Structure 1
């Protein structure tokens, strides 16, 4: 139960941070480029990289702290950071083909799945 609370509280804080930063960036951004999402994703990747480096080099976090920070806080802020970390870990493990497949398939199938979801709703009859 404690682990669920750690993830939930971290996720709440990360989601609120994403919302606030995204709202602020939306006010100052060119509407043609999704600056808010872009900055959030890159920032999340930088933060997860720093935290992963600290965890690896200095054993800086307990398992509970990792759950709160990585799964909860950063998971709520952006799952793209987890995607970035997993890709780097695959590369560092000496698996460039797996990393390339992971990146390519994630992007292609993710975009295709969004398209399919939208099309599925378009194909269904309207409710009212």
Structure 2
């Protein structure tokens, strides 16, 4: 992979991460922290935006990699997960889509528990 593509993804990731922090802090200031409103907003907004971008960009182009993998990946990973699951469904691979959802949620929760246990946080 070319260095400029890696640099574009890195810059996009930094921008996405800063965007996530901004949205999350604004939501916490507006509605408090008893429910993860910021994360919910970021994830839903990310899913909407990645769908829009994926419909407009040339797959594999530097712009697509920067915006989809970089910006949206830094903003939220649920946007990529949502797009990939939808792609499976559009291909008629409904069992694979259901497996992707199930494994992502259940294995993700399991991985968090394992990480907490390994780190002594349980």
Q: Same fold (TM over 0.5)?
A: yes
- Measure, in 1, the Cα distance between the counterparts of 2:33 and 2:18: 22
Gaps of 5+ in 2: none
Decide which structure has the larger Cα Rg and report it.
1
Match of 1:21 in 2: 23
The alpha carbon displacement at 1:52 in A equals 1.3
Match of 2:117 in 1: 119
* SS class of match (1:28): helix
- What root-mean-square deviation, in Å, do the aligned CA atoms of Structure 1 and Structure 2 show? 1.7
Corresponding residue to 2:55 among 46, 53, 56 = 53
- Measure, in 1, the Cα distance between the counterparts of 2:8 and 2:24: 24
The runs of at least 4 aligned residues of structure 1 exceeding 6 Å deviation read none
TM-score (ref. length: structure 2): 0.92
The alpha carbon displacement at 1:31 in A equals 2.6
- State which drifts further: 61-70 or 104-113: 61-70
| Equivalence map 1:30-41=2 (5 Å) | 30-41=32-43
- Measure, in 2, the Cα distance between the counterparts of 1:30 and 1:104: 30
Match of 1:80 in 2: 78
* SS class of match (2:35): coil
Give the length in aligned residue pairs: 120
The alpha carbon displacement at 1:62 in A equals 7.2
The alpha carbon displacement at 1:118 in A equals 0.6
* SS class of match (1:89): helix
Deviations 1:52-95 (A, max 9, x none): 1223xxx5x77010011001110110011000000000000110
